[in-house]
Amino acid sequence: MAGRIEAEVEKIVEELLENTALELVAVDYVKERDWYLRVFIDKEGGVDLDDCQDLSRKLEELLDAQDLIKTSYILEVSSPGLDRELKKPRDFQREMGKDIDVSLFAPLDGKKVVTGPLSAYDGETINVGDMAIPMDKVAKVNLHIDF
């Protein structure tokens, strides 16, 4: 159910963002104490509160009109944050050359997390510097934050 709702909301948000500077990063529909529909957006230079409020208002109207989600939920529209997770091919293309943290399911060369510049990605393998890592060994990939 959650996957279907995420896919439908993704389509709606993509249409709402068409011809704007905003881009959809991710949609998550998750059960915590309550159901949450989280929509993460970004743009060159970062999103601001007005961007989030405007999309939230438009999305809420469409979701209510279409009655897509039958249970009560909390809608959150926000930026993905500095350490955003990279999930889609376009995420990897956009962040090429930037430092990333690759968390692995099991240690590889003695490391469970590999940090370095994203140098290549083809959907099956991710390269961190000159190290090629098969994607089936990758638990998650985030932008690296240097403090």
Angle, vertex CA 26, rays to CA 29 and CA 114, nearest 5:
110
Decide: 119 and 127 in contact? Cβ < 8 Å: yes
Q: Which domains does the chain have, with CATH numbers?
A: 2-78 (3.30.300.70), 89-143 (2.30.30.100)
Q: What is the pLDDT of residue 3?
A: 84
Q: With CA atoms as reference, report the closest residue to 95 among 103, 105, 85, 104.
A: 85
Q: What is the pLDDT of residue 78?
A: 94
Which amino acid, residue 18?
Answer: E
Between 109 and 58, the more confident residue is 58
What does residue 78 show for φ and ψ, rounded to 5 degrees?
-155, 175
Mean of all residue pLDDT scores within the chain: 93
pTM of the model: 0.73
